[in-house]
Amino acid sequence: MSDPALLSLAQAREVAPRELVQACRARIERWQPRINAFLEVVENPRPGVPLAHKDMFYRAGRVASCGSRIRRDWVANETSAALERLDAAGFGDLGRLNMSEFAYGPTGHNEHFGDCRNPWNPEYITGGSSSGSGAAVAARLVFGALGSDTGGSVRLPAAACGVTGLKTTWGRVSLRGAMPLSHSLDTIGPLARSAEDCAILLQTIAGDGDSREKKEIRIAMSTEWIERYADPQVAAAVLAAAKALDRNALEVEPPDFETLSAHCLVVMQAEASAQHAQWMRERPADYSSAVRARLEAGYAIPAAAYLETLRLRAAWLERFCAQTLGAADLYLLPTIPVPLPTREQTGPKGGADMPRLLSDLTRLTRWVNYLGVPALALPCGFDARGLPMSLQLVGRPFSEALLLAAGRQYQRATDWHQRLPA
Amino acid sequence: MVTVTILWSAEAIETALAAQGIALASGRAERIARAQQALLEAAAADPLRATLTFDANPAGYPAALESCR
C-alpha cells in the first residue's frame, strides 16, 4: 500500500511514527478545508501512531475549547485519564478535533468554529457530537479518535461518516478529565476504521478490548419494527447485515424506544442544565441559540420527575437483559433509521421540520444511554446518494469484547468499513 | 395511574426559570412549555412506574449493571 495513512491501526504500529505523521499531515492539508475536522493541528505531536480527539479531553497546559465560545481559550490543568493511558501506550496526538458545542447536539453544527462536514458529501451532517472524530477517521486523517456518548454522540458520527464507533458501558472508561455533560449518562469510546482497531483503543483506555472469537454469537432483533419504521434502504442494509451475522436470529419484541428515550432526555436535560447553571445565569448570550434553548428546557424538569426516572433505571435494564436479549447475546437494529439530513435542513436556518428530523436521528441511540449498556455502530452499506448506512449492536453491561468480536466477524465478511470517501 | 405529573404553561415556565436565575430568550417560554409537557407526559406514561417498589432508589443502578453482566 503506497499511503501509510491508509493502513489499519494494527499495521501502522509496525511503521515508523515519523512516516505516519507525515502521511496524516498530507491528508489533513488536503481534507481540512473541505471537512473542518480539526480545531488545531499541533506543530510537534508526541511520537506514535497518530490519533486526535474530540476537544473535550483535557491535556494539561493545552486549550480544551469543548467546541464553545465560553471555553475557547480555556487551558486545562490536568490530563484526562483516557489520554494518559493512550500516551503511556505510545500513541501520538495530532491535535484537537471539532465537536458540537459542549457535546450538546446530534448533528455536528458549530457556529463558533464552523460546522464539521461529512467527508462523503460536505452538504450533509457528520452527526454529533463527536463530529470531528467521525470525519477525521473517515477521511483517514488519523488512525482513531476518542469521542463521548451521552445520547448517541459516538454512534451518530460513526454512522453518518461510515466508521466504526463503540459506546461503552456506563462506568467502563474513566471520565476523569473529560468535560461533563450528564454524569449519569456520559461515556467515552473510540471511533476507528474497524472493530479490530476499536478493540486496540478500548484495551488501552479501559484495559479490555479482546475481540477474539469466543463462541457462536446469537442475535435478537425486531424485523417487523425495522421494516415498518426504518427507511427502506436502511432496513434492507440492516436486515442483510443481520443475515450475515446470524442466519437464525431470534425475533423479539422491540424495547420501548419512546419511553426509554424520554427517560434519557429527562436525565440528560436535568443534569446538563445543572452543570451549566452558572454560565447560563451569567453569560447566556455566549451560547449558540440551539444549545441555549436545550439548556433552558432542562430547568423545567421537576427534581422529583428526574429522580423517579433514575429510580426506574435498574428495572428497565433488567427487563432489557431478561426479555429483549433473553437467550441472545446482542440486539441488532439500525443506528440511524432515516436518510441522513443535510446541514441546511438541521442548522440554524432549518425549517419547521427540524425538530422531527433531529428526533428521528436520535430515536435509536438515546434509549441505550438510559440503560447504560454498550453498543457498537458498524458501517453496513451506502444509500443511493452515496452516504453511509450503519447497523447497531447492543449488548449486556460490560460485553464490549463480545460486541467487538461480532463486529470483527461482520467486517471479515464485508468491506463497507474499507471504503474511502473520494 | 396518574400519567401527567405537571401542567406547564408559558407563565409557569417563566416563573420557574426566573426563580433559578435563568433569563429566557424572548418567545421561548411557550415552546418550552409545549415540549416539556410532552416529554414529562411520555416519561410519566412508563408502564413500569406502577410496579416500582418503595425501596427502589437511583443508587441501586450500579448493582444492577453488575448483576446483568
For A69, how many CA atoms within 13 A lie in the half-sphere containing its CB? 14
Cis bond upstream, residue A129 (ω within 30): yes
Cβ–Cβ contacts within 10 Å for residue A368, how many? Answer: 29
CA distance A352 to chain B (A): 13
A129 is catalytic: yes
In whole angstroms, give the CA distance from residue A385 to residue A124: 11
In whole angstroms, give the CA distance from residue A367 to residue A373: 9
A153 is catalytic: yes
In whole angstroms, give the CA distance from residue A111 to residue A275: 21
Q: Taking all residues of chain A, what is their mean pLDDT, rounded to a whole number?
A: 96
Summarize pLDDT for A213-227 with one digit per residue, the tens.
567 899 999 999 999
| pLDDT tier at B27, thresholds 50, 70, 90 | confident
Taking CA–CA distances from B17, the nearest residue in chain A reads: A299
CA distance A272 to chain B (A): 14
Region B32-48: what's the mean pLDDT? 95
Which ipTM value was assigned to this complex?
0.93
Residues in contact with B53: Cβ distance below 8 Å, sequence separation at least 6, in sequence order: none
Q: Taking all residues of chain B, what is their mean pLDDT, rounded to a whole number?
A: 90
Q: What torsion, rounded to 10 degrees, do the Cα atoms A368, A371, A374, A378 define?
A: -10
Taking CA–CA distances from B58, the nearest residue in chain A reads: A311
| CA A381 to chain CA mean position, Å | 18
> Reading across the β-sheet that carries A219-221, which strands appear in turn?
A144-148, A188-192, A164-167, A375-382, A388-395, A330-334, A219-221, A250-251
In whole angstroms, give the CA distance from residue A104 to residue A272: 9
Rg of chain B (C-alpha set)? 17
pLDDT higher than threshold 60 for residue A38: yes
CA distance B61 to chain A (A): 5
Cβ–Cβ contacts within 10 Å for residue A87, how many? Answer: 16
Backbone angles phi, psi at A32, to 5 degrees: -55, -45
For A199, how many CA atoms within 13 A lie in the half-sphere containing its CB? 21
Answer positive or negative: Cα dihedral of B34, B35, B37, B41. positive
H helices of A146-213, where? 155-161, 195-206
Which helix or strand (DSSP H or E) is residue A165 part of?
strand A164-167
Q: Which of B39, B35, B43 is nearest to B2 (CA)?
A: B43
In whole angstroms, give the CA distance from residue A205 to residue A188: 9
**Phi/psi-derived region of residue A317, left when phi > 0, alpha when psi is between -120 and 50, beta in every other case:** alpha
The length of chain B, given as a count of residues: 69
| pLDDT tier at A135, thresholds 50, 70, 90 | very high
Region A121-150: what's the mean pLDDT? 98
This prediction has a pTM of: 0.97
| pLDDT tier at A212, thresholds 50, 70, 90 | low
A215 is catalytic: no
Q: Which domains are present in chain A?
A: 4-418 (3.90.1300.10)
DSSP string across A83-116? HHHHHHTT-EEEEEE--SGGG--SS---TTT---
Task: State whether residue B18 sits within 8 Å of chain A by CB.
Answer: no
Query: Distances from the Cα of A159 to the Cαs of A188, A284, A361, A417, in angstroms?
Result: 17, 32, 11, 11
| pLDDT tier at B1, thresholds 50, 70, 90 | very low
What is the per-residue pLDDT for A2?
A: 79
pLDDT higher than threshold 60 for residue A209: no
Contact residues on chain B for A304, CB-CB shorter than 8 A: 5
Summarize pLDDT for A378-418 with one digit per residue, the tens.
999 999 999 999 999 999 999 999 999 999 999 999 999 99
CB contact under 8 A, B69 and A398: yes
Q: Which of A153, A273, A288, A390 is catalytic?
A: A153
What is the per-residue pLDDT for A46?
A: 86
CB contact under 8 A, A315 and B39: no
